[in-house]
Chains A and B, each alone.
Chain A
Amino acid sequence: VQQASIPSSPSSSSSSSSSSPAELGSPAKGLRSRKEGKVARGPRESSSARGRQEGTPQDRPPGQPPPQPPHQPPDRWPPQAPGQSPLQPPHQPPGRWPPQAPGQSPPQPPHHQPPHRPPGHSPPRSPGRSPPRPPRQPPDHSSPETPGHSPPRTPGHSPTPSPGRSPPRQPPQSPHRPPGQSPPRSPHESPRRPPGHSPAQSPRQSPPQPPGHPPHRSPPPGPHQHGPPGRSQRVEPHEYMLSIYRTYSIAEKLGINASFFQPSKAANTITSFVDRGRDDLSHRPLGRQKYLFDVSTLSDHEELVGAELRLYRKVAMSSATPGAPPAGGPLHAQPGAPPAGGPLHVQLSPCLSRRVLAARPLDPRRAPPAGWEVFDVWQGLRHQPRRRMLCLELRAPADLRGLGFGRRGRPPRERALLVVFARSQRRNLFAEMREQLGAAAPLSRTTPPSEALPPSEATPPSKPAAQSEASAWGPRRGPRRPR
């Protein structure tokens, strides 16, 4: 029997993150002999590597830069330290659960665009060999500033985006596609869709963007492309989610009920939403900061059992003399400097609301140098109707940058994370797929006129789902043309 470290309490959960990749990759013999969690590499590392190795100038779309060599950290995927497995736990501060990766600065994935391919056209695949995929773009929706390099900005600019002026630069993608039609995919994408996973949408499509915003960094739809463009972004798994997976998969092997762990409670689905807000580039003290999360993918069939907001608190950018209170109060201190004085109470509340969801004192001098602050926002998410965007605001009597909550220069893994714990009923995956496809069927009317079927040849309501389902599970042979 192979032992595995399972945290028995939130404070001891760091042991789960300390499990080595070998533990993840090796089965828990004696209880189960399945080989699960064999994730010695990032999901797209090998593909990216293959892309770097096999990629030739003719394989790349015009205008696309050549693949980055492995030694160029800013464009590597998955973002990890050299020689470190994506599931390899980083150093965790004690007493925090689940373990996080403070201070990790994963490099940015490349901003490459996938080559255009007509919908339904899938590249030939051979069993046992996945075709190389193009590097994906990061889910970076914040300003692309880097430390020391700030884009010009009008002074007095609103520090946080409002819903009407949303920061995400990606347009809201229609999650649906005309039935029976394959989504535009890159030559490296899978020809199949997952069970319980909408086949009408690619997981790496550009994230939603407020109306009126043009698609950003996405290739224009080709003559055969309908709906959203192909996935042009790469999703970087958050260390927290990786640690959850590690913990639960080991628990499964040991036969431990996952509800044993907190704060998962009875959740069997845990969804993470990365903050899409932008940082305030002004030099004013930041007294409040908004966090935006696109929660449109939350299913109505799932029972929410918990939600938490995880904010990474970085080390203050500049050091201040301890005990020397700034003149005029904390909010008049130098932006970015850690405020002096006693503990400061930070409050979290929904945007445009005075209702406080969570509050806690933070001592800028006694706090750990870096770490995650976890706020329970279940009440805020529970009592509001399902909406597309969730906006939370963090308030403090001092400059939030000085407290380490500034967004500037943050790698994706240090961005605010909304984690929603849900309990979904045991359902047939085909029924789940059929339901999603049924929701996608009405959008078939958005088919461009050039390829839209005449009313007389319109597909029966039940047929698109079947076609899409077939295309979701079976290999796509190419675009089907109506007769």
Chain B
Amino acid sequence: TAPGVRHGKRHGKKARLRCGRKALHVNFKELGWDDWIIAPLEYEAYHCDGLCDFPLRSHLEPTNHAIIQTLIHSMDPAAAPPSCCVPTKLTPISILYIDAGNNVVYKQYEDMVVESCGCR
């Protein structure tokens, strides 16, 4: 059941598009990077999508600025855009690749996977 239907007062896609983590499957082969990346060839990166509408939920961990901006936007949409739905926590992944010198390198690349999203 969509949240809007569940609550009974929010309808339409706005309620369904609240800021949250969505699926984003990365396939390095499709990106054409499989000629230098040995492993992994694909992973789940996720992405953040949705609206940061008033009132902001606490699980979105909004900044004070985002709260103010969201409030202003709710009062006067022309005054400020809504705050942005962005990743708030990212985690690394290990990548085994071939560097410029034809050496096999293991590297832990930071901020490759979205763990949570929020309004900032």
A-to-B contact residues, CB < 8 Å: 24, 27, 32-39, 43-44, 47, 87, 125, 127-130, 133, 139, 175, 188-192, 194-198, 201-205, 207-208, 233, 235, 237-238, 241-242, 244-245, 248-249, 252, 258, 268-274, 294, 296-297, 424, 426, 429
Contacts and interface: CB of A to CB of B under 8 A. Distances in A.
Nearest to B27: A128
B43 A190 contact: no
In the complex, the 9 A-B pairs of residues with the closest C-beta atoms, listed nearest first: A190-B32, A34-B44, A297-B101, A39-B39, A268-B108, A36-B43, A203-B98, A245-B96, A270-B106
Given A35-B44, A198-B100, A242-B96, A204 B108 contact: no
A109 to B, nearest CB: 12
A258 B108 contact: yes
Contact of B106 (A127, A190, A244, A294): A244
Contacts of A204: 35-36, 98, 102
Contacts of B36: 190, 194, 197, 203-204
Contacts of A36: 40, 42-44, 93-94
B105 A207 contact: no
* Interface core residue of A175, A202, A248 (most chain B CB under 10 Å): A248
Contacts, number: 167
Interface of chain B: mostly helix, strand, loop or mixed: strand
B99 A271 contact: yes
Nearest to B38: A43
A173 to B, nearest CB: 8
B34 A190 contact: yes
Interface of B: 25, 27, 29-46, 91-94, 96-110, 113
A429 B107 CA distance: 13
Given A203-B102, A235-B98, 6 more contacts: A43-B41, A204-B36, A235-B103, A245-B39, A249-B94, A271-B104
B32 A201 contact: no
A51 to B, nearest CB: 13
B106 to A, nearest CB: 4
Contacts of A249: 39-40, 93-94
Given A197-B36, A201-B100, A268-B107, A35 B42 contact: yes
A33 B21 CA distance: 13
* Interface core residue of A36, A207, A244 (most chain B CB under 10 Å): A36
Given A34-B44, A35-B44, A194-B97, A188 B105 contact: no
Contacts of B93: 34, 36, 249, 252
Given A39-B41, A133-B35, A207 B101 contact: yes
A382 B17 CA distance: 54
A249 B102 CA distance: 22
